[in-house]
Amino acid sequence: MMLTSASLVAYVNDTWISSRLWPPSSWCAFRSSIRTNNDVEGWHNQLNQVSRHGKLDLYKLAPLLYREVQYVSLQAVLVSENRLHRHQKKAHKRTQGLLCKYWSSYADGEITTAQLLRKCDTHRIFRPLCSGYRVRQNKVIFIPHPVESL
C-alpha cells in the first residue's frame, strides 16, 4: 500500500485533530504534574503479578477484576477531596519543583520560550522532547525527526 501525503493528512486529521477521544487541547503537558503513564503501568504490573502474568483462567480473572473495580468509586471520591496522593521519588519531586519554577517564570514573562527549553534541556527535563530544536537569534526552530515508515 502506497501512502500519499493526502492520506497521511487525512489520517492525522481524523485520528488526532478531529477526534473526540484525544482533542488537541489534551496534548499539552504545560503545568501538568502527571506527564507519563507510569501510574497506569505500575497498576498494570501489579495486576500482572497477582494474575500470575496472564495465566489465570476466566473464572479466576473475573473476580480479580471485579475486586479492582470496587476501588474505582472510592478512589474517585478520595481524589475529588484531595485525600489521595501519589508516591513520588525524591529525584522526581526535585525535577517537578524545578519544572514548576521554570513554568512560572515563563508564564510571568520572565524567561522566553528558548530559555525555558534550555533550562529543561540542562536539567534533563523533557529531554526527548527538547532534543529536536535549535535556538537561533532567540527564536526556537524545531527540527522534525524523519518518518521512516508508518
Q: What are the pLDDT digits (tens) for 116-141?
A: 888 887 776 655 444 455 556 555 55
Q: What are the pLDDT digits (tens) for 42-79?
A: 778 888 888 877 788 888 888 888 888 888 888 888 87
Confidence class for position 147, pLDDT limits 50, 70, 90: very low
Task: State the CB neighbour count (10 A cutoff) for residue 114.
Answer: 17
- State how far the alpha carbon of 92 is from the alpha carbons of 76, 84, 124, 125, in Å: 24, 18, 11, 10
- What is the C-alpha separation between 60 and 70, in angstroms, rounded? 16
